[in-house]
Amino acid sequence: MTDQPLPSAGLDHAAPTPSDASSPDASLPPASIPDDAHWPPTDGWRRVSAKYIVVDVVGYIVSGLMMTAVSLVPLVLFHWSLGWIPPVVVGTVALITILLTPRRVRSIGYQLRADDLLFRRGLAWQRFVAVPYGRMQLVDINRGPLARALGLSELRFVTAAAAATIVVPGLPEQDAEELRDRLVGLAESRRAGL
Amino acid sequence: MTVDPGPAVPPPGSPSVSSGAQSGFADGEWHRLHPATPFLRGGLTLFAIAGIVIVNLRDILLDSVFGGPGGPGSEGEPLVLLTESGFGGLALLGVLVVIVALVVGFYFSWRMHTFRITDEVVEVRSGILFRTHRRARLDRIQGINIQRPFLARLFGAAKLEVNVAGQDANVPLAYLGSLASDQLRREILVLASGTQRAEAAATTDPAALAALPLVAATPGPATGIVEQRVNELLAPELDPELAPRESVVSMHLGRLIGSLVLSETTVFLVLLIAGLAVVFARTGEFFFIAPLVPILLGTAGFYFSRFTKSLRYSIAGTPDGVRVGFGLFSTSNETLPPGRIHSVQVSQPLLWRAAGWWEIKLNRASTSAAKGAAGQANTTILPVGNLSDVRKVLELVLPALVDPESIALLERGLTSSGRTDDGFHNSPRRARLLRWFSWRRNGFALVPGAVLLRSGFVWRRLVVVPLARAQGVSLTQGPIERRLRLASVQVNTVAGPVSASLGAIDAPTAGRFFADAARSTIESASADTTHRWGSAAVTPASFPTSHFPDGAPA
């Protein structure tokens, strides 16, 4: 990679830095991608409301119960000798998912950078997305029944690419509306074509 | 009977034959479509039905005249039953009423179907009872295609479709005069490019001059409409005056046949025949051979239609963008203005490797009803081509990558084995757990204004995304990748056949790619002026301007 026309320094001098675990913002699970001074930013992440854990947990409990019930069918109706295996497996997976929910919710973060919206989520499967404000097609605010009871909203930042559509769940209603107005304003000032 | 499907009547408001290079449609006034439209769009079925009825009536007439008792097969025929039951007159009346209603309906739907082109929008109003009014902004045009089905060609008509981003968001103008549709396309593109009207006149001038010999060669109405139609039918698919010769990529006949022979269909067919032959040899029953006949007939038809649809295939750079045209009997051609291509993929199926052939596909924001060459989706811009064709087409679809370094990088991206340092940031050795064969080749490169993602050892693939069109950049890491300190990157583009993603990249490198690509996306997008591509050009009539006026070194 000697004579390659890189637009800027970024890729050429990789300075190994201490990993994220020792970063000031210890509330976020350690990101394992880093190794680099620029990436990923360790601070400045705005997190979603802790109340969203409730919404997520309830959702997982309901779906976990339903799937466990379905997996009980071979045991209850057909009296299969190995029929206990599916409900145990499904139940265990559901339980682990539910237990990890607080950490998973804490892993959701977003940043309003100068020209783009940066979003991250996920524990085992981590995902970072950066979408320039100018690419915004529309902003949605959705409220499910449980989230509404807790005063939370979900904000969707929709672009022309499905994979570059950002969904920020668990925002307090006031914050969601402010964020929406802010994003619309930013998108307007950085208008770009398709 | 006011509908005259005959070709002799020129479309109203379009002096298509006599008036040179202006279609007269793009004047901001409302216009109607070609008068043969109802006939071309659906009237044909009416004639077919009428034909069947007449043939049947003739049999009955012959029977009644010659006293034949009707063949044994004609007992149950509805027309025979009708004539025998005495309700024949009533039935005839009913048929007439239906026909008249249809004709009147067609006429009014033609009358009510109007369109206009202003400096800002293309508008279409249509429908008798349920009116629709569709309006498309010119700066959002993703492409314009003109189709000429064989029948329409005989009548000198053409279908023009203005493609706008989104599902089912296109504006079809079917049908227009053949010559007028070409001129209208140029006018729409000139308006859309943002070139001012005064300049626009100047811009059209060279093109108009270029078109003049053609007009002169096609004799006016006085010389005879038949001769003119014949000339139009025999005219080359791509007007040689339209595009500079060196930018034209055309399909080589042998390569076209070869690509059809070396396709998955052939492999499937050979395997099927071999399988059936083996079964036949072991059982000796003809029952197993019988399905071969319809299968062979079907595939022969498939090969034939793909063949004729790919004949006269050409890609060329015109001042208004990339023009792709093809077809022998029914022709179709499409113009993609600059900056409407969201990502490009060059790939090589294994069977084509020995021959050195490649295929190029695109992601575009619009979906068109028009099929591409060989009946494939029109996102396949080059169905088959050798390396030099690929080079030319990439120059056309990625006009920003003009510096020799980027071009060399593109070529290395296609063929390099990745064993030597070839300018790509390839996967580290530990990635061979996830990319068994391709880890040496699996990598990316950033050039000013674009990202190159290369992958595949058996099925080679290179994806180029112009960052001015990228919708976002993402970085993902699963548990296995984390163990191996690897990550996946993706440049998000509009939906299409090309997926610009790359897995199993060294994690820190992927992180820096993410940061760099995100920043260049913003820079490229803010420097991009292609939504009004003509307004930023130095000279209005220049070749497609760079996507990245600031990013690309001249």
Please give the Cα distance from A93 to A103 (Å, whole number).
16
Tell whether B474 lies on the interface with A, counting CB pairs under 8 A: yes
Q: In the β-sheet with B114-117, what is the strand arrangement from edge to edge?
A: B31-32, B114-117, B121-126, B132-137
Model's pTM, two decimal places? 0.77
Q: What per-residue confidence (pLDDT) applies to B81?
A: 65
Q: What per-residue confidence (pLDDT) applies to B296?
A: 87
Residue-by-residue DSSP string for B501-515: EEEEEEHHHHHHHHH
Q: What is the pLDDT of residues B387-423, one digit of tens each?
A: 999 998 998 898 888 788 888 888 888 988 888 888 8
Alpha-carbon gap: B32 to the closest alpha carbon of chain A (Å): 31
Instruction: Find chain A residues with C-beta within 8 A of B473's C-beta.
Output: 129-130
Share above pLDDT 70 across residues of chain B, in percent, rounded to a whole number? 80
Select the more confidently predicted residue: B157 or B88. Answer: B157
Alpha-carbon gap: A38 to the closest alpha carbon of chain B (Å): 8
Question: Nearest 5°: CA angle at B182, between B188 and B332?
Answer: 110
Q: What per-residue confidence (pLDDT) applies to A51?
A: 93
Nearest CA in chain A to B482: A32
Tell whether A14 lies on the interface with B, counting CB pairs under 8 A: yes
The domain limits of chain B are 1-235, 253-310, 314-532
Residue B13 CB-half CA count within 13 A:
18
Tell whether A34 lies on the interface with B, counting CB pairs under 8 A: yes
How far out from the chain centre does Cα B277 lie?
40
Closest-CA residue to B245 (of B210, B218, B199, B217): B210
Least confident of A131-140, B93-102, B505-514: B93-102
Window 70-99 of A: residues touching B by CB (8 A cutoff) are none
Instruction: Find chain A residues with C-beta within 8 A of B495's C-beta.
Output: 161-162
Structure confidence at residue B44 as a pLDDT band (50, 70, 90): low
Structure confidence at residue B4 as a pLDDT band (50, 70, 90): very low
Structure confidence at residue B107 as a pLDDT band (50, 70, 90): confident
Q: What is the pLDDT of residues B10-35, one digit of tens each?
A: 344 333 333 345 677 878 889 888 88
Instruction: Find chain A residues with C-beta within 8 A of B502's C-beta.
Output: none
Which range is most confident: B18-32, B46-60, B323-337, B429-443? Answer: B429-443
Structure confidence at residue A35 as a pLDDT band (50, 70, 90): very low
Q: What per-residue confidence (pLDDT) applies to B86?
A: 67
Tell whether B314 lies on the interface with A, counting CB pairs under 8 A: no
CB-based contact B393:B341 (threshold 8 Å): no
CB-based contact B339:B116 (threshold 8 Å): no
Structure confidence at residue B248 as a pLDDT band (50, 70, 90): confident
Q: Give the β-pairing of A109-112 and A126-132.
A: unpaired
Give 3-state DSSP helix, strand, coil % of chain A, rounded to 5: 40, 20, 40
The domain limits of chain A are 52-104, 109-194
What angle separates helix B44-66 from helix B78-85, to the nearest 10 degrees?
A: 50
Closest-CA residue to B333 (of B349, B352, B320): B320
Question: Which residues, in sequence order, are CB contacts of B389 under 8 Å at separation 6+?
Answer: B249, B358, B382
What is the average per-residue pLDDT within A9-33? 36
CB-based contact B188:B144 (threshold 8 Å): yes
Name the 3-class secondary structure at A170.
Answer: strand
Closest-CA residue to A117 (of A177, A50, A184): A184
Please give the Cα distance from B485 to B54 (Å, whole number).
77
Alpha-carbon gap: A11 to the closest alpha carbon of chain B (Å): 6
Name the 3-class secondary structure at B46.
Answer: helix
What residue has token string 């010999």? B213
3-state secondary structure B360-410: EEEECCECCCCCCHHHCCCCEEEEEECHHHHHHHHHHHCCCCCCHHHHHHH
Please give the Cα distance from B82 to B92 (Å, whole number).
10
Q: How high is the mean pLDDT of chain B?
A: 79
Nearest CA in chain A to B424: A1
Instruction: For chain B, report the end-to-end CA distance as a whole number of angstroms.
Output: 62
Structure confidence at residue A107 as a pLDDT band (50, 70, 90): very high
What residue has token string 């062979």? B296
Q: What is the pLDDT of residues A151-189, one digit of tens each?
A: 999 999 999 998 889 999 999 999 999 999 999 999 988
CB-based contact B408:B416 (threshold 8 Å): no
**Any idea which fold A109-194 has?**
PH-domain like (2.30.29)
Window 113-172 of A: residues touching B by CB (8 A cutoff) are 115-116, 118, 122, 124-132, 134-135, 159-164
Tell whether B510 lies on the interface with A, counting CB pairs under 8 A: yes
How far out from the chain centre does Cα B487 lie?
36
CB-based contact B206:B541 (threshold 8 Å): yes
In this complex, do B423 and A4 lie within 8 Å of one another by their Cβ atoms?
yes
Select the more confidently predicted residue: A142 or B550. Answer: A142
What is the average per-residue pLDDT within B280-291? 80
Q: In the β-sheet with A126-132, what is the strand arrangement from edge to edge?
A: A46-47, A109-112, A116-121, A126-132, B472-477, B486-492, B501-506
CB-based contact B35:B199 (threshold 8 Å): no
Name the 3-class secondary structure at A70.
Answer: helix
Q: What per-residue confidence (pLDDT) applies to B446?
A: 92
Around Cβ B201, how many Cβ atoms within 10 Å?
13
Question: Which residues, in sequence order, are CB contacts of B199 under 8 Å at separation 6+?
Answer: B534, B540
Closest-CA residue to B383 (of B425, B337, B352, B429): B352
CB-based contact B515:A39 (threshold 8 Å): yes
Question: Nearest 5°: CA angle at B466, between B434 and A34?
Answer: 45
Around Cβ B111, how many Cβ atoms within 10 Å?
11
Instruction: For chain A, report the end-to-end CA distance as a whole number of angstroms.
Output: 32
Beta partners for A130? A118, B473
What angle separates helix B253-261 from helix B292-310, to the nearest 10 degrees?
A: 150
Q: What is the pLDDT of residues A118-136, one digit of tens each?
A: 999 998 899 999 999 999 9
Q: What per-residue confidence (pLDDT) applies to A34?
A: 44
Q: What is the pLDDT of residues B352-384, one digit of tens each?
A: 999 999 999 999 888 766 666 555 567 888 888
Question: Which residues, in sequence order, are CB contacts of A16 under 8 Å at separation 6+?
Answer: A35, A36
Q: What per-residue confidence (pLDDT) applies to B225?
A: 73
